[in-house]
Amino acid sequence: MTTFGSRRTAPPLHRSCTAFAVLALGAAAAVAARAEDSPLPRQVDANISALEEKVVAWRRDMHQHPELGNREFRTSRLVADHLRSLGMEVSTGVAHTGVVALLRGGRPGPVVLLRADMDALPVTERARVPFASAARTEYNGQEVGVMHACGHDAHVAVLMGVAEVLAGYRGELPGTIKFVFQPSEEGAPFGEEGGAGLMVKEGVLENPTVHAAFALHIWSRAEVGHIQYASGGMWASSDDFRILVKGRQTHGAYPWNGADPIVAAAHIVTALQTIVSREVRLTDSPAVVSIGKIQGGVRYNIIPEQVEMVGTIRALAPEHRQQLHTSVRRIATDVARALGVTADISLPYTRGLPVTQNAPELTKAMVPVLESIVGAERVHEIKPETGGEDFGFIAERVPGFYIRIGGRARDTTETDAPAHHTPEFFIDDSGLHVGVRALTAMALQYMRTHPLSRLDTPRTKTSQ
C-alpha cells in the first residue's frame, strides 16, 4: 500500500481487489477445511467471493458522497434501488430516510433483522485517498465538511452485499430476512428525532415480528480479517444532560448582593466526580460522568444570572444507568440549594441511548459461526466500550448480537491507525468480505437452528 508523507492512501481498486483475492483465498480455504461445520453453503460462499469488487466499489462511492443524519437521500435511493432490483419488498422514508426490505424465504422459519447505519459526520476529510469526500453542508447552523469518519459507508456496502447473496438463495432460505438501513445513528440534528429509536417506534420490529437481530461495525484499529465481540454489554448507554444553575446577578465587587451560579457550578462539577468514585460498584462494570461544557457570564466584573453545564453519562449495565441518573439529579439539586441557587436538570437533554447488550445465548451460539468464517485464532472476545451505539434500541427488545470487523491494514500497527471520528480516519476495505460472510452465516445459522416452534415470543418492552 502506498503512502504520501505520513498519511496513508488507499490503493487503486484493482490493487485492493488483488488483496481481496488473497484474503478471500485464505477465507475460502478456512471454510473448505471446516466444510462439514460451516453455516455457509459452498455456492453462497462462492457468490460472496464474486461480489467483493462490487462491495468495495459501493463503499468508495458512498465515501465520496457522504450525508449527515436524517439527510441520507442519495444513500437511501442507492440502497432502495438495489433492493428492488433483487425482488424484495421495499419500504422507504422510515424514520425520515431509512430503508427496510423483506426477503421472504422459500421455507417457513424465523424473522432475522440485519442492520446497517448510513449517516456520516460533520468532519472535513484529510485522508489522502482518491475517493476522499469534498462534500460540505450546513449542520446546526454552521457550514461544515462531511465525511464518513466512522465507517458507516462500509456497513451499508456490506449489507447490500449480504442482500444480493441471500436473494440468490431465497428458495432455500428457512425464514425471512428484514434488511434495515438506518439513518442518523450518530444522532439527529438538534430538535429532530431519528435513528434506531425512531425506527423501533415506527414498528421496524413488527410486521413481521423480529426474532433476532445482528449488526456490525468496522474498526480502524483492529486488523483486517479479524472479528471482535463482547459478552453482555458491548456498548455503553449514552445520555447527555444539561444543568442550568440559576442564581441572582450582581456586581462582581459586591457578591453579597447576589447568588453566584459560577461558584455553585464549580462545586457541582467537583461533587459529580464522587458518583463514579464512591457510589458505583466499579468491580461490576465501568461508568462515566463527564462535564464537557460550562458557559456563563459576559464580563469580568459581573456575576451572571445563570451558568449552563452540559455533560455525558455512560454505563454498561441498565441498573447502573438508572443509578447514575438518580445521583446526578440529587447532587446537582442539593449542592445548588446549599449554596443558595437552583439547578434545573434535563436528563437526557437531547439524546439517550440504552446499553447495547449481546444476548448470552445468541453470543454462545454465534461465536463458533464466526470461528468457522475466519478461524478461531482470529475471533477475539474484547472488553466492553464506553462509546454509545443506538443498535441498543433494537437489542433491548429482541435478542441481539453485535460484532466488530477489522479495518486496519496488515502493514500498520494499532497505534498508527487513525481513530474514528477524526479527519484522518481510514480503513482498508480489503476485509469487507469478512463482514458479508459473517452476517450471512449468522443469519443462516440462526434460521436453521431456531424453527418457529421453538421460539419464544420476543420481548415487548417499550423503548425509552
The CATH number of the domain where 33 resides is what?
Answer: 3.40.630.10
Please indicate, yes or no, if residue 460 is contained in any of the structural domains. Answer: no
SS3 132: coil
Domain of residue 312: give its range: 237-352
Residue 463 lies in a domain: no
- Angstrom distance (rounded) from CA 154 to CA 20: 15
Specify the pairing of strand 174-182 against strand 107-117.
parallel
301 and 203 share one domain? no
Both 141 and 155 in one domain: the answer is yes
CB 240 within 8 A of CB 351: yes
Q: Please indicate, yes or no, whether residues 288 and 155 belong to a single structural domain of this protein.
A: no
Count of structural domains, the chain: 2
Domain co-membership, 80 together with 113: yes
132 Cβ contact partners less than 8 Å away, ≥ 6 residues apart:
63, 64, 125
Same domain flag for 253 and 120 = no
Q: Are residues 324 and 446 in the same domain?
A: no
Contact 183, 69 (CB under 8 A): yes
Cβ-based neighbours of 248, under 8 Å, separated by 6 or more: 258, 259, 305, 341
Domain end position, chosen among 318, 352, 386 = 352
Query: Residue 459 corresponds to which cell in the numbers above?
Result: 420481548
Structure pTM? 0.88
Whether 110 and 47 share a structural domain: yes
Condensed to tens digits (0 to 9), the pLDDT of residues 243-294 reads: 999 999 999 999 999 999 999 999 999 999 999 999 999 888 899 999 999 9
Query: Is residue 89 situated within a structural domain?
Result: yes
pLDDT by residue for the chain (464 residues), tens only, comes to: 333 333 344 444 444 454 544 454 454 444 444 445 678 999 999 999 999 999 999 999 999 999 999 999 999 999 999 999 999 999 999 999 999 999 999 999 999 999 999 999 999 999 999 999 999 999 988 999 999 999 999 999 999 999 999 999 999 999 999 999 999 999 999 889 999 999 999 999 999 999 999 999 999 999 999 999 999 999 999 999 999 999 999 999 999 999 999 999 999 999 999 999 999 998 888 999 999 999 999 999 999 999 999 999 999 999 999 999 999 999 999 999 999 999 999 999 999 999 999 999 999 999 999 999 999 999 999 999 999 999 999 999 999 999 999 999 998 888 889 999 999 999 999 999 999 999 999 999 999 999 886 675 555 444 33
Over residues 412-438, the pLDDT tens digits come to 888 889 999 999 999 999 999 999 999
What is the Cα–Cα distance from 276 to 97, expressed in whole angstroms? 38
